[in-house]
A and B are shown apart, each in its own frame.
Chain A
Amino acid sequence: MSVEPAIRVNGIEKSFSDTHVLRGVDVEIAAGSIFALLGSNGAGKTTLVRILSTLLKPDAGTALVHGFDVMAEPAKVRESISLTGQFAAVDDVLTGRENLVLVAKLRHLENPAGVADELLSRFGLSDAGSRRAATYSGGMRRRLDIAMGLIGNPPVIFLDEPTTGLDPQSRIEVWQTIRMLAGAGTTVLLTTQYLDEAEQLADRIAILHNGRIIQSGTLAELKKLLPPATREYIEKQPSLEDVFLALVGGGVSVATSLAAEKEDS
């Protein structure tokens, strides 16, 4: 990796009153890659994401995002990132379309309405676009929230548990979107509770535990940490996800293509 990493975190520490949440986090994330941050509840994933998106000041350490220091040049960082937080942050009084237009205007884009319509259709919200966000289901809100985060094509995107609460199809759609972003050169840092999500998506995976990154690497590297697998012959059963997708339809082709990709890697 000769190019400068998109995110470089050195010795970040953060305490809340008496809880020492981050105790020296070091991470480097290559530009254009998908990086998954794993950790149990309360490990500090959200705290780290909030520090990287300039919402929280670290007690110690440095963090560069897209070459800018989060403490010294927060405005430059904000121009380079987009944050989709753990809990959907949409305006309930506005319609889905108005939410998207609002963000597009705040990002000073040429054609806010066009951007909004494109995203509504990409996230399967075209029919709901003129309804107030307050009437959306949890998953629809989340999709709207993620769509708002994509506006303006920032080079670095933070997604804090993007697929929590989504149905399998929406999850796969979000995964496809994330792959597409990375394919186009966007750096994606996502946190997740789902190990299969990290397996499916991430170029590199890091595990945050007791305030530090205790392991990081590619999936293959992490798997090598365990004793070599013993060879067993078992019948290949379709997973529950395969069954669900086959029954509700629509996602089958996606599921098979995913399965193919799984074998590739």
Chain B
Amino acid sequence: MTTHILGDTRTLTARSLRHILRSPDTIVTTVVTPIALMLLFVYVLGGAIRTGSGDSYINYMLPGILLITIASGIAYTSYRLFLDMQSGIVERFQSMPIPRASVLWAHVLTSLAANTISLAVVIGVALLMGFRTGASLAAWLAIAGILLLFTLALTWIAVIAGLTAKSVDGASAFSYPLIFLPFISSAFVPTASMPGPVAWFAENQPVTSIVDTVRALFAGQPVGSGIWIALAWLVGMLVVAYALAVTIYRRKVT
């Protein structure tokens, strides 16, 4: 059976990629919020925000916007998985000699593809709005790696939501707090400007270290030790979410 795991995963991934191609609105709705936020912050609020970095505000905020893009994109992953569970198609696959992991990995790989497209669109719009970077190829690769890890971690959280949701709404509502998290971080304003307890939370939640690292990489500055904190968060979230998702899946499909 292991001989078919790659082939079957590819077949199932092609199937759910086709779902995205047939409803490109899922990409559009994913990128609408981050783009609207960029417009709002750059052209309305940004003028009043002092980042103290001397850089343009769009350069400052783009890393946070990219994380918001991913957080809203993965809502569709749990939505699609939930519908597959509901429609009985997962049961059909499970009564067939298909490696059980293939069904989940197909959704995960599709999520990576969809989020890559969304991120490309958002970065494109940011470039039009004046975003500039002097990042080297190595820095770009590091940014891609960090965004990939973040997408994977959030996707496995989305898998948990898709497997356990009782309704379509529940399947996507879990992403709201994730979308909100960057607001209480260094993504839009420096944490130093926040009142004590809020600043403490902001400085010690994963988004801040990830945002600071990506921002430094875009600016061509040294990332310092922050990258290790960011990586620790990313790998930690990924491992926990993956283990939980797989446990729930095993219990669910007997």
A contact set with B: CB distance below 8 Å: 53-57, 75, 78-79, 81-83, 85, 87-94, 98, 102-103, 105-108, 148
With A75-B97, A78-B97 as contacts: A94 and B92 at CB distance below 8 Å: no
Residues from chain B with a CB closer than 8 A to the CB of A91 are 15, 87, 89
Are B95 and A55 interface neighbours, CB within 8 A?
yes
**Given A55-B254, A89-B92, 12 additional A-B pairs, CB 8 A:** A55-B95, A55-B253, A56-B254, A57-B254, A78-B95, A85-B92, A89-B88, A92-B87, A94-B18, A105-B11, A106-B98, A107-B96
Interface centre among B23, B87, B95 (most CB of A within 10 A): B95
- Taking each of B1, B87, B92, which has the highest tally of chain A beta carbons within 10 Å of its own beta carbon? B92
Chain A residues lying within 8 Å of B23, measured Cβ to Cβ, are 93
Instruction: Specify which chain A residues have a CB less than 8 angstroms from the CB of B95 in the assembled complex.
Output: 53-55, 78, 81-83
Interface string of B82-105 (1 = CB under 8 A from A): 000001110111111110000000
- Which positions 39-84 of chain B face chain A at CB distance < 8 Å? none
Decide yes or no whether B132 CB sits under 8 A from chain A.
Answer: no
When distances are taken between beta carbons in the complex, the residues of chain B under 8 Å from A148 are: 92
Provide the bound-state CA to CA distance between A108 and B10, in Å: 12
Q: With a CB–CB cut-off of 8 A, which chain A residues contact B18?
A: 93-94, 98
Q: Determine the residue in chain A with the shortest Cβ distance to B22.
A: A93
Q: Which residues of chain A are near B7, meaning CB under 8 Å?
A: 108
Closest to B88 in A: A89
A78→B160 CA distance, assembly (Å) = 26
A-B contact count (CB 8 A): 61
Known: A106-B8, A106-B11, A106-B96. A85 touches B88 (CB 8 A): yes
In the bound complex, do residue A89 and residue B15 qualify as a contact, i.e. CB atoms below 8 Å apart?
no
Kindly state the separation between the CA atoms of A105 and B15 in the bound complex, as whole angstroms. 11
Residues of B in contact with A, size category: 20 to 34
Tell me whether A75 and B91 are in contact in the complex, defined as CB-CB below 8 angstroms, given that A57-B254, A93-B19, A105-B11 are known contacts.
no
Inter-chain contacts of A93 with B (CB < 8 A): 18-19, 22-23
Query: Does A87 contact B92, Cβ atoms closer than 8 Å?
Result: no
Is B166 an interface residue when CB atoms closer than 8 A count as contact?
A: no
Minimum Cβ distance to chain A for residue B10 (Å): 9
Q: In the complex, what residues of B have CB within 8 A of residue A88's CB?
A: 88
Interface centre among B4, B15, B88, B97 (most CB of A within 10 A): B97
Measured CB to CB, the closest approach of chain B to A150, in angstroms, equals 13
Task: Kindly list chain A residues whose C-beta atoms are within 8 Å of the C-beta of B22.
Answer: 93
Bound complex: CA A56 to CA B91 (Å)? 10
Partner of A55, one of B12, B15, B91: B91
Given A57-B254, A75-B1, A94-B18, check contact A89 B87 (CB 8 Å): yes
Q: Which of B236-254 contact A (CB under 8 A)?
A: 253-254
Asked if A87 meets B19 with Cβ closer than 8 Å, knowing A56-B254, A78-B97, the reply is: no
What chain B residues lie within 8 Å of A83 (beta carbons)?
Answer: 91-92, 95
In whole angstroms, how far apart are the Cα atoms of A217 and B253 in the complex?
34
Residue contacts A-B, CB under 8 angstroms, 11 given: A55-B91, A55-B94, A55-B95, A56-B254, A57-B254, A81-B95, A82-B95, A88-B88, A91-B87, A91-B89, A94-B18
